Structure 1
C-alpha cells in the first residue's frame, strides 16, 4: 500500500475525529470514550507505520528508523510556515517527490489547513517563542565546578552562662495618707459631750492607712485618724485657747474571705483624745487624755462596696456580737459618760454596725461618711460623720463637716434631748498620697 495514502488516511481520521468533538462543557461519557478510542487507534497506526518505515530502511529505502518529522502528525495541530512556503512558492521551490516522506507529511498537514482550519490551535511562531527544540546531545555534559578552600570549622559554642533569676517577694502591703490644715467656722451645741464653743478656729487632721491583702483570702486593714483643733474666744477670760476638735481613733480589721465581697471579720475600734476639753469661762474639765477611752471589739462580716463605676467605695461591717469597754480616768466624768458614780470602767455587750464609705462625685468633689452604731438593747450610740471636700487646686481645699450624734446613755438635755450636733466649714491646705 502506498505510504502516502496511509498517512493521509491516518492523519485525516485523527483530526476529523477530534474536530467532530463538541464543546468540552457538553461532552458526554460516550463521546469521551469514542475520542479516546480514536486516539488509541491512531497511536497503533503510527507504531505500524514506524515499523514499516524501519522495514523500508532495511530494503534500502530512505525512511530512517526514527524520524522527528513524524512528530508533526501526532502533535497538536500546528501551522508551520515552511509548509506554506514550499507549496505556494513560485519558481525556485520544486514540488517534492511523492515518495518523499517530508512531502507526504506536508501534504497531510496542508489538507488540514485548507479543509479544517478550526482544528489548528497553535502556530510555528508560538513554538519558536517558547524555545527551540534541543538537538540530540552526543557528548556528555560536564558541569563546571568551582573549588573553594575548606571552610574553617565553626568554633564550639560556649556553654550558656547561668542566668541569675531574681524572684522578688510579693509586697501585700499598701499605704496611704490624707492630711490637711484648715481654718474654720465652728458650731457646737450647748450639750456637746466633750464641750467646746461655737466660733472661728483652725484644725489639723492626719489619716494614715496600712492595709494587708495577700490575695489568698486574708486581709488586715489598719486606719489611724488624728484631729486636733484650737479656738480662741474673747468671751473666755479663763482660757487663752481651747480645743475645738480632738480625736485619736484606731480601727483595725482582720478578715477571712467568705465570698467575692464578704469577709468574716474581727474588728477593733479604740478612741480617745489628746488634751483637756473646756467650755468658755468654765474650769470644769469635760474630757481629757484617756477620759474617756472607748474600746469596741466585734465579730461579724464585712462587705466590700464598689458601685457606680467604682465611684462609691468602702466597706460595711455588720457584727451581731460586740463587746464595748469604756474607761474614764477622772472620777468626776463617770456619770457624764454613762458610768455609775464612783466607777471608772464599764463593760457591756451588744451589736455593732460600721459603714465607712467614700463617694467621689468628680475629681474636685468627694464625700466621706462614717456611720457607727452600737446598741446593748438598753441604750444606743449612733455617730454619723460627714465630710464634703472641695479640691480647689492641688494643695488648696475646702471642707464642710457635719457630725450628728445620738446617745441615750447620758443625761437628757432639756433643749436637744439625746441628740448632739457639731458642724464646721473650713478652707486651707490639703495633701494626700
Structure 2
C-alpha cells in the first residue's frame, strides 16, 4: 500500500505542475503528438478521481478537506496562507498536496496569479450576516375592492322643450248667517249672505328678459234681508277684473312695463226697497292702459312678495251702456264714453304675517288734472286648515269725479267678514 501511495503521489505532482501552466509551451517536432498528451492528462485526472477524490474514508471532514486541497492543483495557481503554516509550524502534518503547492511557489513564482485574500474579497460570504434579518410586518385591514365600472354605459337622454308658463289659482266660498228675534232688545233683522271668489293666474317668465303676468279676478256675493220687500237678494260684492302686464327686464328688480286693467261687474246692483239700478254689467266698464316701470318685491325672508307699478303716462276709458247712469258716474249727459290721460300707480303685495294668517293688499291710484281715483283693497285670511278659512275684507275708496255726498264727501267704504271653504293650487 505504501508503494502504491508513493506512485500516485508522484503522478499527482507531475500533473499539478502541468495544470498550473497557462501560457502555451513550444513543442519540438520529435515530441509525441498533442492529442496523446491530452489523452494522458485526461486519463491521469480520471485515475486521480477514482483513487483519491472519490475514495471514501471513515471521517467525512477529512475527506472534504482532502478534496478541497486537491482541487487547488487544478485551479489557477493561487497563494494560500495555510500552505506555509501547515509545513513550517512545529505541529506540522505531512500533506503531499501542500508540499507540491509550496514547490510551485518556490520554483515558479511567476505562475502565481493571486492570493486567497483576493479571492475571498471577490466572493460574497453568507456568514458575514451575523444578525438575522427581521421583518416587521404590519397587518392592515383589507381594502374593499372597487366595483369594476364599465367603460361605456348606455344613457338615455330626453330633451324636453322648456316650459316658461306657471299657473295658479285660489277658490273660496264664504257664508254668513245672522238671526235676530222679533223681540230682541236692541232691534235688528236676520239676514243670510254668501260670497264666491275665484282668482286665476297665468304667468310667463323666460328667466332672461321677458315677463308676462296675467290675473283674472271674479267675485260675487249675495245677501237676503226681511226688511227689503222689493228684492229677495241683493249683490254685496260684484267684480270682474283682468290685469295683464308685459315687462322687459332693465335690472335685477326693475322692468320696463306696459300694464292693462279692465273691470266691470256681473249683474245689477240695488239698494234696499229701491227699484233704481245703480250699476250693471258694462255700466260702467273701465279700461286703463299705462306705460312705466315695475319693481319686484321679495322681502322679509320671502314672506312679503309683490310688485310696484309706476306709470307716468296712462290712458283711461270709462264706458256705460246705460245713459241714465252718466251723471252718477261723472260723465257728460248723453255720452257713453269718457276718455282722459294722466298718471297711474298700482301696488300688489302679499304678506304672510303668521303661518295661518295672510294679508293681501292692492292699492290703485289714477290722477288727471280734473279728477282722482284711489282704491285700497285689503283681505285678511285666517286658515283653520287646508279647506276652511275666515276672511275679513276692508275696502276704502276715494273718487272726486262723482257727485259729492253730504256725509262722506268723496270717500266710500266697504267691509265684510265671512267664514267658509277655500282651496288653493
Place the TM-score, normalised by the shorter chain, in its bin: 0.5 to 0.7
CA distance in 2, matches of 1:270, 1:227: 14
Aligned to 1:36: none
- Secondary structure of 1:170's aligned partner: coil
Kept in 2, the 8 Å contact 1:291–1:330? The answer is yes
Q: Following TM superposition, by how much is the alpha carbon of 1:362 offset from its aligned partner in structure 2, in angstroms?
A: 2.5
Please state how far the C-alpha of 1:124 moved relative to its aligned partner.
Answer: 1.7
Which residue matches 1:424? 416
Relative distance call for 1:179 and 1:401 in structure 2 (3 A) is same
Counterpart CA distance in 1 for 2:247 and 2:278 is 37
In 2, distance between residues paired with 1:375 and 1:387?
25
* Aligned mate of 1:269, from 261, 279, 286: 261
Inter-CA distance 170–62: structure 2 relative to 1 (3 Å threshold): closer
Structure 2 CA distance for partners of 1:52 and 1:269, relative to 1, 3 Å? same
What's the counterpart of residue 126 of structure 1? 132
| Structure 1 contact 290–329 (Cα < 8 Å) conserved | yes
The 5 Å alignment of 1:256-335 reads 256-335=248-327
Distance 1:391 1:52 in 2: 115
Partner of 1:369: 361
Q: Deviations over 1:140-175 (max 9, x none)?
A: xxxxxxxxxxxxxxxxxxx999x7643211000000
In 2, distance between residues paired with 1:160 and 1:320? 61
Q: 1:56 to 1:416 in 2, by over 3 A?
A: farther
Q: Which runs of 5+ in 2 are unaligned?
A: 1-76, 81-103, 136-151, 179-188
Distance 1:372 1:184 in 2: 29
C-alpha spacing 1:71/1:341, structure 2 compared with 1 (3 Å): same
Specify which of 175, 182, 196 is matched with residue 174 of structure 2: 182
Q: How many residues align?
A: 299
Distance, in Å, in 2 between the alignment partners of 1:428 and 1:358 is 21
Deviations 1:195-253 (A, max 9, x none): xx996511000000000011120111000000000000101000111111000000000
Greater relative contact order, per chain length (Cα 8 Å cut-off, separation 6+): 1
Q: Larger Cα Rg: Structure 1 or Structure 2? A: 2
- Distance, in Å, in 2 between the alignment partners of 1:232 and 1:289 is 21
Select which of 328, 336, 345 maps to 2:328.
Answer: 336
Aligned equivalents of 1:410, 1:325: Cα separation in 2: 15
Q: Give the match for residue 397 of structure 2.
A: 405
Partner of 1:247: 239
Deviation (angstroms), 1:343: 1.3
| Kept in 1: contact 2:190–2:225 (CA 8 A) | no
Is the contact between residue 78 and residue 115 of structure 2 (CA under 8 Å) also seen in structure 1?
Answer: no
Q: Is the 8 A contact 2:234 2:269 kept in 1?
A: yes
Gaps of 5+ in 1: 1-50, 81-121, 131-158, 187-196
Aligned mates of 1:389, 1:198 — CA distance in 2: 25
- TM, length-normalised to structure 1: 0.63
Give me the whole-angstrom Cα distance separating, in 1, the residues matched to 2:105 and 2:282. 139
Residue 68 (structure 1) shift: 6.0
Q: Partners of 1:275 and 1:53 in 2: how far apart?
A: 139
The equivalent residue for 1:172 is 164
Q: CA deviation at 1:382?
A: 0.3
In structure 2, what is the Cα distance between the partners aligned to 1:66 and 1:210? 105
